[in-house]
Structure 1
Amino acid sequence: MEMNMLLSKSRGTIFWKNLGIVLLITCIPIAVIGVIIYYIGTERIETEVNKAHQNQLQSSIQQLTDDLANLEHSVVRLAFDRSLDETLKKLDFVQEFQTTNELMKSFSLITESNSLINSVNLYLRGSDKIIGDEAGFHSVRTDEDRNLLNALLDTERTIYWNYSLKKLNMPDSLNKAIIIKLPGGQMYGSFGMFIIYLDQNKLNTMVQKLVSGEGVAFLFNENGDYLTTLPSHEDSQELLTLEDALKSQISVQNTNENMFKFDWHHQKYNVSYGKIAKLGSKWTVVSATPISQIVAPVTSLSKFILWISVFGLTMGLALSWFASNKIYDPIHRLKSLFESSRNNKLNEKDEITYIEHQWKMQLQVEQDLSIQIKQSIPALRESFLLQFLQGNLYTHTESELIQKLKQLDWDVAYKRFAIMVAQFHGISDLGGKFSERDAQLVTFAASNIIKELSTEKANLVHIINFQDLSIGVLFVLDPNSSDEAIKANFNKLAHDYIVAINNVLNLKVTIVTSRITDSMKDIPKILEQTRKALRFRDHHTSNQMLDMSQFMLTTTSQNHFPFELEREIVHTVSMGLEDEAMRLIKQFMLELQKNNNAELMVHQGMMKLLGTIHHAIIKHESNLFALYGGVHLYEQLMQLSEPDQIVEWFQYKLIRPFVKTLTITYDSHLREIVDNLILQMQKDILLDVSLEMYADQLQMSPSKLSKAFKQINGINFIDTIVRMRIEKCKELLVTTDLKINDIAEQLHYQPSYLIRMFKKSEDITPRQYREKHTQSSYTSPF
């Protein structure tokens, strides 16, 4: 069972290295003897085999030379054949079929007489014809082929090689070919040429006979061009690289010997080469055979020695296996410990390297976690303090709160605490510099300013951004500082902060400082009280500093609520007179501020006005949900503190939506009634008329008629009558000689009342108006 457990362990390089050292020490004598015998025997055999291989290579090179000499003979005979003269230019290959057939037969005989020739082709420049034993007779069809053939003819040499010539009927092939210009021996002005294509496969086979097995043989010319090609298989690229290396090595050989040894990819080759000069070119034939292949016969002699070595190694393995496991066991346990702690195991065979890498990773992870914790502590502390100041951690004890903050890098044990709250005013008085939407941005800028100033006064400071043009600051104070020193520092900080906000943001500030406490549990309650104290700021003072420890709500006079204005506001709102209602609301705000300087009292007065208007709107049977979209009006008003904001809220959020719905209720029929009533009043201007009289005529209640008249006409009934009679008075003063008493009698006014009303309207008396205007045509606007 113990053996099975040991075998189940994964082994790394350390185990196998240790085991190998033990085995080498155990078997080194046998290994040394085997190696000496092996190398002494193989060296002698290698010498004899190399001699035999060299003789065979020389014989093969001579055979290759003979084949090329035969090819050369065939080429020269063809080049200087007297029957192939210029008469061929005039030969009609179609009409003189017999001559054409004999040429093709002679080409076939040449091909069959030499195994290296694949095909023979004849090209005549003037006729643009080409004939061969393989493709037969055909014309040159493309300019590309014609240019290729003419370029071959224009070469200065009479007989020469081309190592990458394509066949006309096989445009993608590259062939070795011999070019023979006609007539033979003429370098310029040739009328045609023979193109002898070599059989690449037979040439490769002939050269490859120089070697066997895994050896390589090839043929290249003086320009380094290969006359042989490699077969297409997966090792061809590697063999081509070997050929290039051998070719480079032969070019730098300075010895007269035609053989040398060459190392390539951890294998040693025995290389032999020879020179061949035929057909105007010089070739080098190279044969490279692995020495291991040459000395293969010696391996049988050394097998016995190897088997003895293997037996000794096996015995050493059996004897050292258990000892190696005992040595390796601590390393294995440590490695397993790391692997069990990670989901993804590294593919590392060296246990020591693996353990070192894992240890470094653990240290890096620990360092990264430490950095992340340090970076996240401020955010965690912000979140914790936010929950704490909102009163959500009321279940925590004092010690738990102190311990939690200590974990968040705040040591607040035996410390004192205080709160400062600031409210910003006057954002609507900046002439467009800030809008109401910029409240959060302004509050953020102000919080940054107080943060910079506060950190100079205390080490531990927490800024609370309420996102509503107000901020709070929590100070952790030194317990050794006196209350007087702390208050002095707070006053200095408040003064500096007010100056900074005035200069940078052009806003006014109200600052309230709380009482100092020794208990953290009291801080949420103190914060709530301090924020509430902002409501007691004086509306008539721009910048204020309030101290909660000395704060007392006192009144010097009895508060007076403007009930009359409240009734007038409700009446104008009920009639849909938005402009008049807003004028009265502004006056109402001024009355509240005059009687109550504290913001809280003014705000409570506006809340009562909201309740009264809200009650009046309900009496009109309006759908409040459709009118205000389900908005909580009282909650919205509670969020506002600036007088201008409150007045604008009353206009745009409360009154205007109601007035719009109220205006819609006055239909076109009622407007027509009011328009006809105005025309009737112009006709009855000299009569003693009243609202009740017209209401009886129209069969309407006086209140409904009065409300509709003012809603549609914009002016109430009495003011309209007075304006019409003033205009009539002006007409009578200019067009008649009636005295003012007579005119007043016609208009059903007392003379003194008419004169007073006329002067109020025109800023002059009736007499002055008559004197100013001459008797001229006058048409009343009514």
Structure 2
Amino acid sequence: MNKHKSRNRGTIFWKNLSLVLLITCIPIATISVILYYIGTDRIGTEVHNAHQNQLAQSIQHMEDYLSNLEHSVVRLAFDRSLDETLKQLDFIQEFQKTNELMKSFSLMVESNSLIGGVSLYLRDANKLISDDNGFQAVQSEEDKKLLESLLEKERTIYWNYSLRKIGTPDTMMKAIVIKLPGGQMYDSFGAFMIYLDQAKLNNMVQKLASGEGVAFLFNESGQYLTTPRTNEATIEQLTLEDTLRSRITEEDLNENTFKFDWQRQSYTVSYGKISKLGGKWTFVSATPLSQIVAPVTSLSRLILMISIFGLSIGLLLSWFASNKIYDPIYRLKRLFEAAKPPRSDEKNEIIYIENQWKEHLEEQQVLSTRIEESIPTLRESFLLQFLRGHLYTHTELELIDKMKQLDWDVEHKSFAVMVAQLHGISDLGGKFSERDAQLITFAASNILLELCSEKLNKVHVINFQDLSVGVFFVLDKSSTNEPLKATLNKLAHDFIAAVNNVLRLKVTIVTSKISDSILDTPNVLEQTRKALRFRDLHTSNQMLDMNQFMMDNTSQTHFPSDLEREIAHTVSMGLEEEAVRLIRQFMKELQSNDSTELMVHQGMMKLLGTLHDTMVKHDVNLYALYEGVHLYEQLMQLSEPEPIVEWFQYKLIRPFIKTLTMTYDGNLRETMEKLLTQIQADILKDVSLEMYADQLQMSSSRLSKAFRQMNGSNFIDTVIRLRIEKCKELLVTTDMKINEIAEQLHYQPSYLIRMFKKSEGITPRQYREKHSQER
């Protein structure tokens, strides 16, 4: 959208924008660049100097420790109390002196953190005194040879970088050896061994490194005096240490600091040499440049972000100023661009606005026409939701305002509804089926709309899709409601006449009370629809007025309880046809004595409950049998007597009897199947139910019920059906006359002809002629 707007701005806007950008952004950009380069370079120099000073202080700290160690060694070497009298020292008898020696050793260890232990060896006494183990005799020959080799060295004070500590054969330590007496190279009677604490030495050197950097010590022979952090050091770091040691050892570098590239990363390397106690040590510290300049990078980014922010503010201010300058024309231009994309490349804003304004006026006229055409549809949708009670949260004023927006002024009006129910589809002899209910309802709603629109201006017809329609009236208020009632009654009479003549159906119409509040209309419509249940079933067409409608509570309604019990017994016996006959009789009993539809419906509901209890007693799973269907809800949807009876037969009783038959006694089923086969074989004989009852040794009534339950029809109907089939066979395959065939089937010819025609729809002679032509 922004891109589209920018493309439609004229040359005036872009000239103004360019000028403001030059005024605001160039100074800000210049200051930002100067600040970035000068500030970043200065900060980088200061950070690097601070790093070098910190490194120098750490090295000086380590050198102070070594100097302290050197002073302690020299003082110990030339201590006069450590003369040759120690040769004859009896450590046990002269315990006081022994204790003083051990205390001096402990004091030496505590005074310098680099000292890990102090031991004194006396060759003639073959004794060893240490700060941790006290005094002990040297036992093994290996230890004696090691100690003797220390006294054979030419130097009085020297370093041993792999001295095994006596008593711990697997430990190699760095130690300073001081031969006694001090100042003599030969004929030494003993020696001091000051062991360095390797862990503390490593820790002190590692403090020179930070992050991914390395720091180490090596002596004049190139041996490492520090050990790597085996848990943390990587192969790359160990290789870096070896490379740096080789370069510092082989090259004569004039500077103590240099840059070194390794593994695509630059390091700043600092090194120095320390000469203490006859040894020359070289310390090396290598730190990645990225780590040193990290604070500089952060500050540089901050400076860059501030500069970008300042430049962004300048751009925004420039944009804002340009829009303010261009605003009078641009506001008009934007109104048209927001509505639709431009269809021309006109650069002159005034001409562009003029053309767009003309198009806008034309479109406004078209849209106004379309809105007027769509208002009826919108009003129909709104009224449908309102009358169904979906807008119950609206107040009366809100409803009136909404109706005004939909071109219906309902303020200071009266309101009424009328509901019509169509009846008698089943009485038309198959002209309409239940599937045509929606089509019939649609036709009735059109008839009602046409009749009402002729007399009233504000009418809304509701199609309930179930053979019932309603109409909502907005009426002009009058001093009395009598003229309005007369108009509604006339419309009801006209509608009944039209439906009777066109659709050939009966109609029940209920007219509501006239209300002054639109808010009550959904409730009035609901009550009016419920009043349809109080129609008289014996009247073809009926009109009910809610103003005079009262339910007669004094009338006594006869309920056929005996028939109800007989129907339940018949259903439990599995006699479908008999049950249906009794249900029709039950329906007629309910319709007598001026019963209303509601009373009849309540009676049928009670019958459904009785049959429901009967089915439950047979241990039938009704939920599985009727596939979870709500039977009472289905029955509530029916209002005509014949559809109700058919629903009982096909939806309720037949599925139950079928299930009951499947669960019936297996032996009796097998007996009935054999009996049916025997009847087919004996069809030309004079058979009877009593004859077969005697053969099966059961009573005729029991056989009749079992036969009817298993086969779905009684014995006589089954025999007639089989004989009709045999008659059809003889008509097609033989030239026998009808009299002869009737004699073989044990029927009178006239009776046979009548039964044949009832079954096949044609006479036996016509049947034979038809099949002769086909052959």
TM-score range, shorter chain: 0.3 to 0.5
TM-score of the superposition, structure 1-length normalised? Answer: 0.46
TM-score of the superposition, structure 2-length normalised? Answer: 0.46
